[in-house]
Structure 1
Amino acid sequence: MSLADVLRTLDDAGLAALLRRRPDLVVPVPTDLAALAARAQTRHSTARALDTLDEFTLRVLDAVRLARDADGVARAAAIAEYTAPAAAPAAAALATLRAGYLVYGPPDTLRVAGGVDEVCGPYPAGLGRPAVQLSAAAATLAADPARLRRAVLAAPPPARAVLERLAAGPPVGTVSAAADNGRPERRSGGRRGRESGPDPDSPVVWLVDAHLLAPTGVPAGAGDPARYESVELPREVGLLLRRDTGALGPLRPTPPPVGPTREQGQADAAGAGQAMEAVRQADALLAALAAEQVVLLRTGGVGVQPLRRLARAAGVDEPTAALLLEVCAAAGLVAEVESQSVPGLLPTPRYDTWRVSPLAARWSALADAWWVMPRQPGLVGSRDDRDRPVNALAAEVERSGAPVVRRAVLAALAALGDGAAPGDEALVDHAAWRWPRRVLGREAAARQAAAEAARLGVTGRGALTSYGRLLLTPVEPADEDPLGVRGAAAALDPLAVALDPLLPAPVDHVLLQADLTVVVPGPPEPTLAAELELAADHESGGGADVYRVTEASVRRALDAGYTTDDLHGLFGRRSRTPVPQTLTYLVDDLGRRHGGLRAGSAAAYLRSDDEALLAEAAADRRLAPLALRRLAATVLVSPFPQARLVQALRDAGYAPVPEDAAGAAVLASPRTRRAPGGAAPRRPVNPAVPALTDVRLAGIVDQLRRGEARASTIRRAPAALRAAQGQVDSGPAAVQSHTEAIAVLQQAVRDRRPVWVGYVDPHGATLSRLLLPVSLAAGYLRAEDERTETLHTFALHRITAAVPA
C-alpha cells in the first residue's frame, strides 16, 4: 500500500492532524491526495519534518530502516529487537513518526516514506549495508556467526582499532596508497585515481583479506580489483562490534540533565540591566561612527584597527564591538557609503530616530535584528580557509543557518522551564538532543549564540528572560488586522512592552558636582540626553552616566546658539543639587569672551568694537601666519579662508564667532553625516509555516476531497509513472526517489529518448507530460513537448518522477 492509499483512508480529522503537524505541505495547497502524498515524500518536506525530531526519535527511525526486509517492510518484532533497551519510549517515538507519516502502514508491516532514505543517508544508525550487497566472500563469512566472531577476535590490534572506528560510524573509509620509495602516490595522466593499490602492510589490507571489510572504491578502468580506494564495514560485523552498546548505539530516551535554576525575577532583572548596557554600548559605537567615518577594506568589512578604535570608543572588548556592529548593520542603523570613491561606514537616518526612541524600543530594534540576521558575529577574529582574518561586516560572516541555531538554543532553554540556567555546554548538549539535525556539527555556533544572547540581555544569569521568550513567538502578520480595528495597541512592539516595566524610569534631572562633573542617575530622557551631548562631554556609563563640563563643551553650546542665560537656566533647571560656583564663573567668562571677535571672508576678515582686543590680535605672534592687516580701527583682514582664521584664533585662546555677509552670527552645530539606509527588518511570520486555523484546515481538506474526486477520473499517464508518484489504485508501490528521477532524465538526455515526467506546478497540482529532454543543467530541465512542439523549462526540485516512454 502506498502513502497515497493510506491518506485516502483517513477521515477529515486525520488529514487535518497531518496538515497541522506538517504545514509546509499546504504551500501551495495540493490539488488532490496523490499530490499531497508526493509532496510529503519530497526531499525538502521530509527534511523539514526530520528537523523537528529529537535524537531518540531519529534513532527509532533508524531502527525501522534497519528492520526492513527485502520488500521494504519492517515488522514490529524486528523493530523491537533494536529498541529493546527502551521499549516504552520507543513506542511513543514510533507513534510520533507515524503521526508525521515518515513511516506508515499497519503496525506489523511498516514502510518508510519516500525521501527519508535520501535525506538521512544510506547508513542507518551508522551501520553499513548487509554483506550480501557488498561481496560474496563477506556474505559467506557473515552467514556463519561463530566463524565471524572468531575472525573478529583474531584481528591484530591495529586492525581491531580500524574495526572499532568504522563500527562507531560512518562505516566507510578511504585507504592510503602503497609507498614507492617514499615518494607520493602516482596518478595516471589526466585521470584521478591511484596507480598503486593500498599499502600491503596496512591493517586495512588484512581486514579485506579476512573479508571483514569489503572494497567499494575500485577506480573506473583500473582492471585490478586489488586497487581499491575505499572500504565499507558490513552490517553484520558492525552489529557484532556493537553487542555491548546496542545496535543503535547508546540510547538516551530522555534529554540530558540540566543545571541549577534561578528565580525568574532575578533573571529578568539581570537581563534588563544587560539590555540597558547593550543599548548604551551600541549608542556609543554609533556616535563614534558618526564622529569619524570608518573606511571599509577593499575585500569588504571593517579592518582590525578600525574595529579596535570603535571598541575603545564604546568601552567594550572587540568581540562585543563586532557583535554590536553586525547587529546595528542588520537593524539598518549603519550602512556603507561611497566617499571620494572610498567605501566607508556611516550611521543612517534611521539612527537619528532610534536614538531618541524609548530605551525599550531601542533594545527591541536590536534584538529583532539579531534574531533574524543570517550572520554569525562570533566568526569575527578567526581565520578563514586561506588563513586570513575574518573581519566584521565581511562576506565570510554570512551564515544562512545562523537564525536556525539561535532559535534552537533559545527554544531548548525555554523548554527547560522558567529560570533554568544550565550553562552554555549543558545548554548546547540539550539543544543537540532536542534538534540534532539543526545543532550537531554547529556546536561552536550554538555556543556563540548563547553568549550573544547574554551580551544583548536576552538571557540573564544564564536563564531565559520573560521578555526574551517573546522572540520565540511569531509576529502576528499584518493582514490579520486589515481594517485596523485593534487600534494603536496592535502596533506596539510586544518586546518593548514586556521590557519597559523592568527598566528604570527615564530621569529628567542631573546631579552637578564641584569638579564640574554631571551625574545622570539613570537612563536620561531623550531631551536631556540631547542637551547634555551639546553642553558636556561624556566620560563613563553604566548604572549612572557621568559627564563633565569643559571650556570646549560650553563653547560648543554657545556656537550652537545657546546664550549664557540659556546655559544657566539649563543647569539650574536640570540639577537637583546646587549649581557649583565654578560652573557659573566658567559659563560667564566664556560668554563674555564669546563673540568678542567676528570673522568673515575677505578671503576672511576680523572685526570688533573693542579696538584694544583687535590690536592685541594683530600684534599676537601666534597669529602671524594668518597675515592679518588692518583695514580700519575695528577691522582686520586675512588672505586665508574664514574657517582657518576662526580655528587659529581659537587655538590661540580667543573666542571668535563667524558671521555671514549680512553680519549675522552663524550658529554652529555638530555636523552629522548619514548613509542611505532602509527600514530595519522585523521578525516575520515564516511563509513556509502558515497559521492554520480550524476553519482554514477545514477548507483545505474540503478542497483536497474535491480534487481527489476529479483526479480519480483522469489517469492518462503510464501505470509506472503513477506508481512512482504514489497514485496507484491498489497494491504496494515504492515511491521513486528524486535521485532516481534525475538519473532517468540524464539517461534520456544522452539517448535522446522521450520520457514521462511527473511534476508539481506552481499551484500545487501534480501533472504528467510526455517530453523529449534537451538539456539538464543548473537545476533546470529543458525539454520539448512532443505534442505541441514547444520548449519548456522545469525546475528540478518540482519534478517528482520520471519514467521512460
Structure 2
Amino acid sequence: MSTLANTFADELRLRSESDLAALFTLRPDLLSPVPNDFSALAARANSTPSLVRALDSLNLWHYQIVEAACSIAEPFKKSELIAVTSSETTFAIENLWQLGLIYKDGDKYRTPTNLKLLIGDEPVGLGPIYPGKADLNKLKDVPKTSEAVLAKLTWGPPRGQITDIKKPGTAIGWLLDNNILIPMDSHTVALPREFGIKLRGGKVHKELSIKAPDLTGKKLSQKQIDLAAIANISTVMRWCEELLHNLSDEPPTALRTGGIGIRDLKRIAEHIGVDEACAGFIAELCYLGGLLVIDPDDQILPTSAFDLWLTKDPEERWYSLAVLWLESSRVAGLIGKSSDKNIAPLGPELDRAGVGLIKQTTLKVLLENEEITPEITSLQSIVKWFNP
C-alpha cells in the first residue's frame, strides 16, 4: 500500500486502529451515526458543524497554530509551520493531527478544506496568497514613503482603500509597480500574505499564547470560602422560593415573543429585594429547574414540581438547580443588555451555543485555585485562553 495520502479520506485509511480510536475519542460526533466508509468519515470530519466542535475544544495556543497552518502554502512541512510559530509547536502538531485538523500528505501536512473557510480568507489579518511566486527581496528596496503604507497593512487589515487604482499616488504606486501590493478592484489594494509574513519577521502572530495566564486575586481560607458559599446558596434558594410564591399570587402574562415583561420583572425584583438583572437570573434558574412554566393561557406560574422541590433537603434542591444551570445554553446575563431590543427572562433569545463549555471551564479554573477569589479580568483571560 502506498504511504502517500492525496486526500483526507486516503490519509484516514492509512491511520492505525489506535489512531482512529484516538480520533473518535477526541471527536465522538464522527461516530453518530457510524460512517459507512472512510470517504464518509472524511466528509463528516470536514463538515462545518464537526470542525466547529473540534475548534471549540482547542485552547488559544492550539488555535493559533491552526490559524498559522491555514496561513501558509500547502502542503507544508512540520519545519515550515514551526518557523512561522515557535519551537513548542512540535508538541502540538501531533494533537492537531489526532484531532483531524491537519492531515499528512507524505512527509508534509495539509488542512481540511472547510477548516480554511472557518478560519477565514484573511487569517490573523494576513492578505490573499500571491498569484505566482512572490519576490520577497523587493522589500529591501522599499522607499521611505512606501514604508508607512506597509506598516499600516502588516498586522491587518491587509487591505487599503484608494481613490483610483489608475492614480494611486507615489507611495502606493511604487508598491503596485513592484508587485508588493496587488489590486483587488478599482479602489482596493492588498498586501499579499507572503509579504505580510515576511514583514512580521517571518511569524504569523505578533505574540503566541503558549500557556494560560496565571490566576490573580485575593487569597482566602477554605473556611471563609465555605461560609460564603453556604450563605450565597441559601440566599439564592430563598430568592427562588420568594419569586415562585409571588408568581403564584400574581402570575404575570408572558410577552407575545415569550418571557417576562419589563414591568413585571421590575415588580418581581422589588418584591424579592434585588435588582432586575438578578431577578431575571433567578427566574431563569427556576425555569431551567422546571419550577415555573408559561401555561397555554400565557400565564407564568409555578409548576407542581415546585411543591415537590420544597419538600427536599437543601442539598438536593441546590443540586437540582446547579446541575441544570451548568448544562444549559441559556445566558441570563444577556437580560436587558441588547442594543436592538430588551431581552426578556424566559424568552427565546437567551440561548447561546458554547456557553456550557465556558461555564465548565470557569468552574474547572476555580476548582484548581480553590483558595483564590479571582479578579474578574484575570478569570476572563484564563477562560478565554481555554475557549478562544
Given that 1:128 and 1:232 are in contact with CA atoms closer than 8 Å, whether structure 2 keeps it comes out as yes
Give the one of 246, 252, 259 matched to 1:294. 252
2:323 is the alignment partner of 1:368: yes
Give the one of 351, 370, 374 matched to 1:422. 374
Given that 1:63 and 1:82 are in contact with CA atoms closer than 8 Å, whether structure 2 keeps it comes out as yes
User: What amino acid does structure 2 have at the position aligned with 1:426?
Assistant: S
Give the one of 383, 406, 414 matched to 2:359. 406
Determine the structure 2 residue equivalent to 1:565: none
What secondary structure is seen at the aligned counterpart in 1 of 2:316?
Answer: helix
2:379 is the alignment partner of 1:392: no
Give the one of 14, 31, 40 matched to 1:35. 40
Deviation at 1:325, TM superposition (A): 0.9
2:144 is the alignment partner of 1:153: yes
User: What amino acid does structure 2 have at the position aligned with 1:29?
Assistant: V
Deviation at 1:299, TM superposition (A): 4.9
Given that 2:84 and 2:204 are in contact with CA atoms closer than 8 Å, whether structure 1 keeps it comes out as yes
Given that 1:264 and 1:419 are in contact with CA atoms closer than 8 Å, whether structure 2 keeps it comes out as yes
Given that 2:255 and 2:261 are in contact with CA atoms closer than 8 Å, whether structure 1 keeps it comes out as yes
What secondary structure is seen at the aligned counterpart in 1 of 2:294?
Answer: strand
Q: How does 1:40-439 map to 2 (within 5 A)?
A: 40-68=45-73, 72-83=74-85, 86-87=86-87, 89-105=88-104, 108-132=107-131, 143=135, 145=137, 147-151=138-142, 153-155=144-146, 159=149, 163-164=151-152, 166-172=153-159, 175=161, 207=172, 210-211=175-176, 212-216=180-184, 218=185, 226=186, 228=187, 230-243=188-201, 246-260=203-217, 262-337=220-295, 343-385=298-340, 388-414=341-367, 416-436=368-388
CA-atom RMSD, angstroms?
Answer: 3.1
Deviation at 1:170, TM superposition (A): 4.3
User: What amino acid does structure 2 have at the position aligned with 1:56?
Assistant: W
Closer/same/farther in 2, CA of residues 198 and 305 from structure 1, 3 Å limit: farther
Closer/same/farther in 2, CA of residues 382 and 198 from structure 1, 3 Å limit: farther
Closer/same/farther in 2, CA of residues 208 and 393 from structure 1, 3 Å limit: farther
Deviation at 1:293, TM superposition (A): 1.9
Deviation at 1:336, TM superposition (A): 2.1
2:22 is the alignment partner of 1:17: yes
Deviation at 1:32, TM superposition (A): 2.8
In 2, distance between residues paired with 1:58 and 1:95? Answer: 14
Deviation at 1:246, TM superposition (A): 3.5
Closer/same/farther in 2, CA of residues 259 and 346 from structure 1, 3 Å limit: same
In 2, distance between residues paired with 1:299 and 1:13? Answer: 50
Deviation at 1:58, TM superposition (A): 2.2
Given that 2:253 and 2:260 are in contact with CA atoms closer than 8 Å, whether structure 1 keeps it comes out as yes
What secondary structure is seen at the aligned counterpart in 1 of 2:35?
Answer: coil
Given that 2:75 and 2:105 are in contact with CA atoms closer than 8 Å, whether structure 1 keeps it comes out as no
In 2, distance between residues paired with 1:382 and 1:66? Answer: 36
Given that 2:59 and 2:387 are in contact with CA atoms closer than 8 Å, whether structure 1 keeps it comes out as yes
Closer/same/farther in 2, CA of residues 264 and 213 from structure 1, 3 Å limit: farther
Partner deviation per Cα, 1:699-718 (whole Å, 9 max, x = no partner):
xxxxxxxxxxxxxxxxxxxx
In 2, distance between residues paired with 1:115 and 1:37? Answer: 11
Given that 2:358 and 2:387 are in contact with CA atoms closer than 8 Å, whether structure 1 keeps it comes out as no
Closer/same/farther in 2, CA of residues 295 and 110 from structure 1, 3 Å limit: closer
In 1, distance between residues paired with 2:348 and 2:20? Answer: 44
Deviation at 1:338, TM superposition (A): 5.7
In 1, distance between residues paired with 2:293 and 2:267? Answer: 18
Deviation at 1:276, TM superposition (A): 1.2
In 2, distance between residues paired with 1:376 and 1:305? Answer: 21
What secondary structure is seen at the aligned counterpart in 2 of 1:335?
Answer: strand
**How many residues of Structure 1 are paired with residues of Structure 2 in the alignment?**
379
In 1, distance between residues paired with 2:105 and 2:144? Answer: 41
Closer/same/farther in 2, CA of residues 394 and 19 from structure 1, 3 Å limit: closer
Closer/same/farther in 2, CA of residues 359 and 215 from structure 1, 3 Å limit: same
In 1, distance between residues paired with 2:220 and 2:165? Answer: 58
Deviation at 1:408, TM superposition (A): 3.6
TM-score by length of 2: 0.85
Determine the structure 1 residue equivalent to 2:9: 4
Closer/same/farther in 2, CA of residues 152 and 32 from structure 1, 3 Å limit: farther
User: What amino acid does structure 2 have at the position aligned with 1:433?
Assistant: W
Which structure has greater strand proportion?
1
Deviation at 1:429, TM superposition (A): 0.8
| Mean Cα deviation higher: 91-100 or 205-214 | 205-214
In 1, distance between residues paired with 2:220 and 2:342? Answer: 39
Closer/same/farther in 2, CA of residues 240 and 91 from structure 1, 3 Å limit: closer
What secondary structure is seen at the aligned counterpart in 1 of 2:299?
Answer: strand
User: What amino acid does structure 1 have at the position aligned with 2:234?
Assistant: M
Given that 1:61 and 1:94 are in contact with CA atoms closer than 8 Å, whether structure 2 keeps it comes out as no
Partner deviation per Cα, 1:355-384 (whole Å, 9 max, x = no partner):
222212222222233223332221222243
In 2, distance between residues paired with 1:11 and 1:275? Answer: 50
What secondary structure is seen at the aligned counterpart in 2 of 1:115?
Answer: helix
In 1, distance between residues paired with 2:339 and 2:209? Answer: 36
Given that 1:76 and 1:107 are in contact with CA atoms closer than 8 Å, whether structure 2 keeps it comes out as no
Which structure has greater helix proportion?
2
In 1, distance between residues paired with 2:37 and 2:256? Answer: 54
Deviation at 1:240, TM superposition (A): 4.0
Deviation at 1:270, TM superposition (A): 2.0
In 1, distance between residues paired with 2:251 and 2:10? Answer: 65
Closer/same/farther in 2, CA of residues 262 and 95 from structure 1, 3 Å limit: farther
TM-score by length of 1: 0.43
Deviation at 1:423, TM superposition (A): 2.4
Closer/same/farther in 2, CA of residues 305 and 41 from structure 1, 3 Å limit: closer
Deviation at 1:206, TM superposition (A): 5.5
Alignment gaps of 5+ in structure 2: none
What secondary structure is seen at the aligned counterpart in 1 of 2:108?
Answer: coil
Closer/same/farther in 2, CA of residues 108 and 33 from structure 1, 3 Å limit: closer
Closer/same/farther in 2, CA of residues 13 and 240 from structure 1, 3 Å limit: closer
Alignment gaps of 5+ in structure 1: 134-138, 179-196, 219-225, 437-805
In 2, distance between residues paired with 1:149 and 1:128? Answer: 20
In 2, distance between residues paired with 1:144 and 1:6? Answer: 34
